[in-house]
Amino acid sequence: MKLKIGITCYPTVGGSGVIATELGKLLAEKGHEIHFISSSMPFRLNKVYSNIYYHEVQVNQYSVFQYPPYDLALASKMAEVAKREKLDLLHVHYAIPHAVCAYLAKKMTGDELKIVTTLHGTDITVLGYDPSLNDMIRFGIEGSDVVTAVSESLVQQTYDLLQPRSSIRTVYNFIDERVYYKKDTSDLKEQYGILPEEKVVIHVSNFRKVKRVEDVIQSFYRIQKKVASKLLLVGDGPEISVVCKLVKDLGISDKVLFLGKQENVEDLLSISDLKLLLSEKESFGLVLLEAMACGVPSVGTNIGGIPEVIDHGVTGYLSEVGEVDHIAEQAISILSDPDLHKRFSENSIQRVKDRFSSRHVVEQYEEIYMNLIKE
Ligand code: GMT
């Protein structure tokens, strides 16, 4: 049975936008009709698909409104598209505001429209701690027909924090295996001026405070004293200037490459030997999965969903938040032992295949949709 599915996400760079867009693309490849409804074109939607449509939410700025009413514009666009295109369901990513907007659209279209909401983390781990938003997030969750979260840890945290009456099911994130695999990009290493014998450590994030990029720098400072290496910093965000200053103060400017936002991260991962993700909050850590698929072992913090992605002692290591000496020790042990590195690298690729394959995850979402439609 082919379904007509509306998808709403934050379309800008970010794991949730990536997952929503890749899911839409894979569902379209399986013959479903996909309607993206968002404020701008999701950034990964970079080619024409015959059964993918994009509906832009326009927010008019009338002088009576102090703030442009984006949420209401989104809800009415969802209702308009659902009615006109006879959508079976809306799959929204983030409870706030998307699940609440979807609920409004459902009510506007006669209550038939089904809502699937996927929680990605920031809505719970950040907004969930704001008492003024708690009831609204719970309302969005309870107003959805099915709620999923991207890790067991996020499911538990949502129950603990908000006590919703709905049950929440874990559906892990995935990567497109056709994009993320180890490529031969050794010339890239040369182009960046990295010597063949130098190891490459990589960090990819949006440089928000929760990512603790300063810990990445402090860890790398210790690593480069023992192992000839370079650090690639990929991404941009509010903490970038603090990080730049720390790199300068530690005297390692010649060893740290600030690459800013990059489109083809898989090419950079293919020249990398180790991935660091040292966040204090992370419901999943999609960037870890991308690294693992390219055969890059990781050291990550023992918080949120990270322990569900990194298999400690098998694909990399876990360390407590802020323990930069221990993190550096673990990194050095991986970088200086070729056998251990090879084993972690092969295990990482295997773990992605076993637990996070796109085929398996897309089938789980399809099963959720089908069961809902049958109700
Ligand atoms: O981490 C961010 O700042 C971005 C945020 C997003 O909306 O993409 O990431 C969240 O969703 C990703 C996809 O499910 C997860 O991989 C990230 O762990 C999660 N971030 C947090 O929980 C802080």
Residue whose structure tokens are 């603790």: 212
Instruction: Assess whether the C-beta atom of 125 lies below 6 angstroms from ligand 1.
Output: yes
Residue 148, beta-bridge partner list: 118, 169
Task: Give me 139's structure tokens.
Answer: 């309302």
Candidate from 10, 122, 281, 290 with most ligand 1 atoms within 8 A of CB, to mutate: 122
Q: What is the DSSP letter of 174?
A: -
pTM, 2 dp: 0.95
pLDDT at 128: 62
Instruction: Assess whether the C-beta atom of 308 lies below 6 angstroms from ligand 1.
Output: no
pLDDT at 273: 98
What spacing in Å lies between the alpha carbon of 14 and ligand 1's midpoint? 7
Instruction: Assess whether the C-beta atom of 189 lies below 6 angstroms from ligand 1.
Output: no
Annotate 1-21 with b (16+ C-beta within 10 A) or e (fewer).
eebbbbbbbbbeebbbbbbbb
What spacing in Å lies between the alpha carbon of 371 and ligand 1's midpoint? 27
Q: Which atom of ligand 1 is nearest to the CA of 118?
A: 14
What spacing in Å lies between the alpha carbon of 17 and ligand 1's midpoint? 9
What spacing in Å lies between the alpha carbon of 34 and ligand 1's midpoint? 23
Instruction: Assess whether the C-beta atom of 341 lies below 6 angstroms from ligand 1.
Output: no
Could you give the CA distance from residue 274 to residue 314 in angstroms, rounded to a whole number?
14
DSSP string, 17-80: HHHHHHHHHHHHHTT-EEEEEESS--TT--S--TTEEEEEPP----TT-SS--HHHHHHHHHHH
10-residue averages of pLDDT along the chain (375 residues): 95 87 95 95 78 92 80 97 98 95 97 96 73 90 98 96 94 95 91 97 96 98 98 97 98 98 95 98 97 98 98 98 98 98 98 96 98 89
What spacing in Å lies between the alpha carbon of 213 and ligand 1's midpoint? 15
Q: Give the number of other Cβ atoms within 10 Å of residue 261's Cβ.
A: 12
pLDDT at 99: 97
Annotate 302-334 with b (16+ C-beta within 10 A) or e (fewer).
ebbbbbbbbbeeebbbbbeeebbeebbbbbbeb
Q: Which atom of ligand 1 is nearest to the CA of 304?
A: 22
Residue whose structure tokens are 């966040």: 279
Residue 10, SS3? coil
Q: Which atom of ligand 1 is nearest to the CA of 17?
A: 8
H or E element, residue 8: strand 4-8
Q: Roughly how many angstroms between the first and final C-alpha of the chain, as a whole number?
A: 15
List domains and CATH numbers for the chain: 4-174+357-374 (3.40.50.2000), 186-355 (3.40.50.2000)
What spacing in Å lies between the alpha carbon of 289 and ligand 1's midpoint? 13
Q: Is 184 exposed, middle or buried (0-12, 13-18, 19+ CB in 10 A)?
A: exposed
Contacts of 364 (CB under 8 A, 6+ apart): 171
What spacing in Å lies between the alpha carbon of 369 and ligand 1's midpoint? 23
pLDDT at 13: 65
Candidate from 8, 38, 118, 120 with most ligand 1 atoms within 8 A of CB, to mutate: 120
pLDDT at 293: 98
Note the ipTM here: 0.98
Q: Which atom of ligand 1 is nearest to the CA of 126?
A: 23
Distances (CA, A) of 30 to 42, 51, 363, 366: 20, 10, 10, 10
H or E element, residue 6: strand 4-8
Strands of the 114-119 sheet, one edge to the other: 52-56, 33-38, 4-8, 89-93, 114-119, 146-149, 168-170
Could you give the CA distance from residue 254 to residue 237 in angstroms, rounded to a whole number?
21
Instruction: Assess whether the C-beta atom of 301 lies below 6 angstroms from ligand 1.
Output: no
What spacing in Å lies between the alpha carbon of 150 and ligand 1's midpoint? 9
The closest residue, in CA terms, to atom 12 on ligand 1 is: 15
What spacing in Å lies between the alpha carbon of 95 and ligand 1's midpoint? 13
- Position 241: which residue type? S
Candidate from 16, 158, 211 with most ligand 1 atoms within 8 A of CB, to mutate: 16
